[in-house]
Structure 1
Amino acid sequence: MITKERKRPLKIQKLEALLRRLPSHHPKYEMIKEALAKSIAGFRGEQSLDYYLSFLPSNEFLILHDIRFPYDENSYFQLDTLILSTRFLVILEVKNIAGTLYFDQAFQQLIRILDGKEEGFLDPLLQIKRQHMQLETWLAQRKNLPLPPIESFIVISHPSTIIKSSPNHKEAFEKVIRPPMIPLTIEHLKRFHTKEILPMKPLKRLATLIQKQHTPSNPDLLHQFQIDKSELLRGVICPTCMRRPLVRKRGSWYCPYCESSSKDAHVSSLQDYFLLIGPTISNQQLRDFLQISSATIAKKLLVSLDLKQSGVTKGRTYELETLLNHK
């Protein structure tokens, strides 16, 4: 049973918003475009597991996707997929990397060869060891919970990737799998771990606790890419031709380029503001970002969205987070 669904990462939404709001000639544009492509590829790789995870009996397993929770006061650890059962736990770390992958035991590195180019990565086997240790430590701190055995695997999700390793690299042979191997791997673990450690009721409480402590990653992309908010393009973007700025006419947004009109084109622009600049906005900030001059029109737009407000008169601000679910 899936107890925490896999959702489109906030980072992807932020990268898409940043590309919309930067001129294509901006010096960081291609770098951001590449970062978005990598993030989307990673997410698609994680999604490719879902079909094979569906074969696991829902009455035996609880599945949590994309979880991130505190390890200590200053750090978090993140797991792509965590499978809970009464007898054992399983960490799945997904790598959607194309090309030929070589797990080098001697130097504890992953070498990727693609289009004749050789590139080195940190060894994912070290990563799952660290995740194993972090999860074990986190569970040990919950004194009322027995400590079930933890198994961890690297799942190479790209279908055409060729996997190689150093001779006699036992760990790579045991820990690196393909998505179709997930049900068979879990079945093998069931035969190996026969003792019930954590009955289903406390197991469900553990799943609930993990979800409560989950803290989504919320990167500040302007800081990360060293972009000032003054560099962002202002104005409402046309949902039809993606050009800007739209003009406000008789209660609608009019596009002077493709001549289409929209009642709520401003919503996506306010979503961009939330993703890139901040969670709240004032009347003046809205006028500046949407490029409209009328405070009255700005207030009508804000009030129509039924946003939570704080402050009074000129100091009033509106919370934008609920707009992310706006259709």
Structure 2
Amino acid sequence: MIAKKYSASQYVKALRTLYKRLPKNHPKFFKIKNEFYQNQAGEIGEEAVMKVLEKLKLPYKFYVFHNISLYSDTLFQMDIIIITPYYALIFEVKNINGEIIFTDQQLLRKLETGESHTFENPVLQLEEYEYQLIQLFKSIGISLPIYSAVVFAFTSSYIKVAPANKALIFRRGIKPFIRSINVGLPILTDSQLDSLKNYLLKNNKDFQPFPLINYFGIEPNSLLKGVECVCGYIGMKKVIRSWYCPACKTYNKNAHESTLKDYFFVFKNTITNQECQQFLLLNNKHEASKILRNPLLISTGQSRNRKYSLINGKEQPSFSKSNQT
């Protein structure tokens, strides 16, 4: 049973915004670009693996969690964890194409072009997750065996040198691998398993490095401003009751909504009327006031000192019912 279903992370969505708005000559452009594409690829792989697990059937109760972060000795984030009355199983999912070589400390990838890249060794990541999970279980009086495996989501990965001391499987091997795990007498009752499920969900701590310009140390004035069109053009023109895109020649009355969402996760967790005018490239304060008059925003202060923020800063808002200008 899926206890925490697959969901795209707000971090990757915000990374895309930062990458799109960062000039190519910015000294951190390629760092942000690589961070975005690596995380995006990771999510694609995790989604593919979760689709397999959604169809998993076992002769005993189990719960599957996607992208869960817990605090033990330190904060640790697991791509996928499965808990059962007999064991816990951690998957570290990889979506890396090319020729793969595992070394003691790194994962090396070589492309057909001859280009090579290095990544963190997922075996070392799993060893750390196992240790942290053991400590967490001890703190709540649970003693479950913990297994782990590196999962490659797609066959575009060719494993030339596999890890010597860790299971490595491809997506189609997930179900046979899980069914091959030997189980004896259950360690947890179904009721205790339910309690553990609820504990993990309650104590999940989402990765929230927002606003991203602070996290990456980027000056806000270095980023492109303006409303983004669905075609990718940034800088739509405000017209009466709508927005016009000079690139694709289309109108969209709600185009500002996604850009305003992006602001809170990339630039700042509060916004003033003047900042709204500057960021959306509006013509006057009245247009900004209508856009900021939204039930999902809370205001503090009066007059020129008034600031707006999300009612719940951890969730991406929906502005579908916002006032139009």
TM-score (norm 2): 0.87
Go from structure 1 to structure 2 and tell me whether the alpha carbon gap of 1:323 and 1:141 turns closer, same or farther (over 3 Å shift).
closer
Aligned to 1:236: 227
Name stretches of at least 5 consecutive residues in structure 2 with no aligned partner.
321-325
The residue correspondences of 1:97-176 to structure 2 (distance < 5 A) are 97-104=96-103, 107-115=104-112, 116-143=114-141, 146-165=142-161, 171-172=165-166, 175-176=167-168
Moved more, 311-320 or 130-139: 311-320
1:28-85 C-alpha deviation (Å, 9 max, x unpaired)? 334322322211111111112123213322762100000012123xx31010000011
| Partner Cα distance (1:306, 1:165) in 2 | 51
Residue 29 of structure 1 aligns with an amino acid whose one-letter code is: F
Other structure's SS at 1:288 match: helix
Residue 218 of structure 1 aligns with an amino acid whose one-letter code is: Q
Other structure's SS at 1:171 match: coil
Aligned to 2:323: none
Aligned to 1:88: 87
1:66-125 C-alpha deviation (Å, 9 max, x unpaired)? 0012123xx310100000111111011112222222334xx4543333233454444322
Q: Percent identity?
A: 32
1:141-196 C-alpha deviation (Å, 9 max, x unpaired)? 113xx311111111122312222437xx7524xx111111111111111xx22111
Other structure's SS at 2:297 match: coil
Aligned to 1:11: 11
Instruction: Find 1:313's aligned residue among 275, 298, 303.
Output: 303
Using the TM superposition, give the Cα deviation of residue 323 of structure 1 relative to its aligned residue in structure 2, in angstroms: 5.2
TM-score (norm 1): 0.86
Contact 2:96 2:156 in 1 (8 A): no
Other structure's SS at 1:236 match: coil
| Partner Cα distance (2:222, 2:117) in 1 | 34
| Partner Cα distance (1:19, 1:103) in 2 | 30
Go from structure 1 to structure 2 and tell me whether the alpha carbon gap of 1:265 and 1:296 turns closer, same or farther (over 3 Å shift).
same
Contact 1:45 1:157 in 2 (8 A): yes
Work out the number of aligned pairs and report it. Answer: 314
Name stretches of at least 5 consecutive residues in structure 1 with no aligned partner.
none
The residue correspondences of 1:22-41 to structure 2 (distance < 5 A) are 22-41=22-41
Go from structure 1 to structure 2 and tell me whether the alpha carbon gap of 1:266 and 1:132 turns closer, same or farther (over 3 Å shift).
same
Other structure's SS at 1:182 match: helix
Residue 227 of structure 1 aligns with an amino acid whose one-letter code is: I
Contact 1:64 1:81 in 2 (8 A): yes
Q: CA RMSD in A?
A: 2.4
